[in-house]
Amino acid sequence: MDFLGYANKRVIVSGCFSGMGEATARKLVELGAEVHGLDFKESALDLASFSLVDLRDPATIEAAVTGIGGRVDALFNCAGLPQTAPAMDVMKVNYAGARHLTEQVIPLMGEGGAIASISSTGGMGWSRKLPMLSEFVKISGFDAIVKWCEENAETVAEGYSLSKEAIIVWTMWSSSQLIKRGIRINCTLPAPTQTPMMDEFESATAAEVLDTFIQPINRRATPEEQAGPLICLNSDAAGYVNGVVLPVDGGFMGAVTTGQADLSALMPSS
């Protein structure tokens, strides 16, 4: 029985070259989906199609979606940049570009369409910024989003945290609108995951800070462990799941909520 319902479904995966996106695309191919990949580097997977896309450039996004055409059943927003990249590039790729891609794909979706995006436990501070983020996600259009970021560079900071917080709030905000068209949207919050990007995180973040986010399981996730929940969220089996921000963190959020996580490494030193 095809419980997840991906056989012959047409899906798009951004960030399919490596990491979580590669693991997601590879598993979807195994599940019988027609997978169309997007990335800044060419994928070695056996995909139905592949398009070189720079999420910092909306024209390349639009050209890729036009090239894919037809009905799209599911979109997986897996592409991302770490905080070591220039802040505006991070905002463009992690939020503005992902959102622009989604908005280009939505007209190709019908009843039963689904969208899943990767946020991060690095965006878990979204609730403390909710008034600002609620206004930010109402800004539409790639250029308008970038303009706001350039005018609010101090708020953007390194870009990574804000981009992931924005994905979370945008997911929840969009879910009420899209479900009226029969389209679901959800996102995941991965804990530190052993992908090629991890070298960048390690170069910019103290080891004890990174290790804080792997409690209580005390190991990093694999890309495959992150791909599974994404695939489930966009599957037929999750047809009533909408607007969910799903921690995929080995229990970290649970430990924080119940006071069992040691957060001392995140506290400013006296």
Mean pLDDT by 10 residues, the chain (270 residues): 90 98 98 97 96 98 98 98 96 98 98 98 94 97 98 96 98 98 98 90 90 96 98 98 98 96 84
Tokens of 94: 């992690």
- Determine the pLDDT at residue 2: 85
CATH number of 10-190+223-247: 3.40.50.720
Q: Are 9 and 73 in contact (CB under 8 A)?
A: yes
In angstroms, the CA 11 to CA 168 distance is 22
pLDDT value for 201: 86
Q: What pLDDT score was predicted for residue 46? A: 96
Pairs from 28-31 (Cβ < 8 Å, separation ≥ 24): 28/76, 28/231, 31/2, 31/4, 31/6, 31/7, 31/231
* Distance from the Cα of residue 8 to its chain's centroid: 24
What is the structure's pLDDT at 1? 54
Which residues, at least 6 apart from 107, have a Cβ–Cβ distance to it below 8 Å? none
Domain residue ranges of the chain, discontinuous segments joined by +: 10-190+223-247
